[in-house]
Amino acid sequence: MKSILLALATLALLVGCSGGNESSGNAGNSKSSQPVGKASITETGRSAFQKTYISARGWAADAQPYSEESQPTQEVPGGDGKATVWTARFGSASRGSAKAFTWSGSDAPDAPARGVIGGAEDSFNPSNRSTRTFDLGFLKVDSDQAIAEAAKHGGKKLLEKDSKMPVFYRLHWDPNDNILVWNVMFGGNGSDARLNVRLDATTGAFIKIEK
């Protein structure tokens, strides 16, 4: 009788140990199976343009760009000339349509889904001055070079006071001066900017402070 009881006690002990190990193993598997977020990717305006250009040419063989804009995020405010989100707009004369393509390198809550996403088509008139297309060959000065020049005209002081200040970049063709232009905007976009520096995107030369 004692030998039977001893055998039962030994069996119970073995089952208990096995259950403990299984539980510990599951806990380890659960921890290791937790999804690990990808690191955000930042790009300069020209690099992001090349990514969207491929998608735009897939949409229309004659697609040509007429603007590009950055979108600062809390994670990447844009003070180094790079962003995790860029939107380029293209026009197609053959289709009479315009289409925006957004590249995102982030999974942050305030960024669109990672990758290149096309927007809805809109009407496009090649003779419209506000949507004048340009050749990428005119883009000699990238966004990181643009902010380096903009820093000399008041941008550096603003970023020294607030290193997290959002910086917006806008690339477009100026039909009046017939040049490709970078607008580097500190603290806001357009009329909301605390400082809006206008630069030649081909030569890098400072043009003026936008009022």
User: Tens of pLDDT along 104-138?
Assistant: 999 999 999 999 999 999 999 999 999 999 999 99
pLDDT in tens, 28-38: 444 344 445 68
155 domain-assigned? yes
DSSP conformation class of 64: E
110 domain-assigned? yes
Q: Is the model's pLDDT at 186 over the cut of 90?
A: yes
For position 18, what pLDDT does the model report? 43
Whole-number percent of the chain with pLDDT over 70: 82
30 domain-assigned? no
The domain of 59 spans 45-209
State which amino acid sits at residue 162: D
Average of per-residue pLDDT values in the chain: 87
Reading the block at residue 74, the tokens are 């809390």
For position 37, what pLDDT does the model report? 66
21 domain-assigned? no
Q: Which residue has the higher pLDDT, 68 or 35?
A: 68
**Cβ-based burial of 114 (10 A; exposed 0-12, middle 13-18, buried ≥19):** middle
Identify the weakest region by mean pLDDT among 15-19, 50-54, 155-159: 15-19
For position 1, what pLDDT does the model report? 40
8 A C-beta contact, residue 170 and residue 67: yes
Buried b (16+ CB within 10 A) or exposed e, 174-211: beeeebbbbbbbbbebeeebebbbbbbbeeeeebeeee
107 domain-assigned? yes
**Residues 98, 103, 109, 110: is their CA dihedral positive or negative?**
negative
190 domain-assigned? yes
* Domains of the chain: total: 1
4 domain-assigned? no
